[in-house]
């Protein structure tokens, strides 16, 4: 199930983004990217609809996934 990011309290949304960055984000590029920049980038991807928040009812966890992956999984905002 997809959760609109606008329905999540800002502090909770930032915590979710930070957890995602800690789990998935690594600096492999030519330049180191600051944590605040990474948070801003992920937040912008949510705003742009490129990334969505998916809630898994079985594990009762949230994860950030690409909108394309959500579509292939048949997920939608219901």
> For 35-64, how does the pLDDT look when each residue is reduced to its tens digit (9 = 90+)?
899 999 999 999 999 999 999 889 999 999
Least confident range from 11-20, 57-66, 69-78: namely 69-78
- Confidence at residue 75, expressed as pLDDT on a 0 to 100 scale: 76
2-72, CATH topology level = Arc Repressor Mutant, subunit A (1.10.10)
Contact present, 2 and 76 (Cβ < 8 Å) = yes
What is the rounded distance in angstroms from the CA atom of residue 20 to the CA atom of residue 42?
Answer: 9
Does 32 or 52 have the greater pLDDT score?
A: 52
What is the rounded distance in angstroms from the CA atom of residue 40 to the CA atom of residue 61?
Answer: 22
What is the rounded distance in angstroms from the CA atom of residue 15 to the CA atom of residue 43?
Answer: 11
- Confidence at residue 73, expressed as pLDDT on a 0 to 100 scale: 87
What is the model's pTM? 0.82
């Amino acid at each position: 199930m997809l959760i609109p990011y606008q329905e999540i309290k800002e502090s909770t949304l930032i915590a979710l983004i930070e957890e995602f960055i800690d789990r998935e984000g690594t600096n492999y590029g030519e330049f180191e990217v600051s944590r605040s920049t990474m948070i801003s980038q992920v937040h912008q991807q949510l705003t742009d609809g490129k990334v969505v928040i998916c809630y898994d009812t079985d594990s009762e966890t949230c994860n950030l996934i690409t909108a394309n992956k959500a579509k292939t999984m048949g997920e939608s905002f219901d």
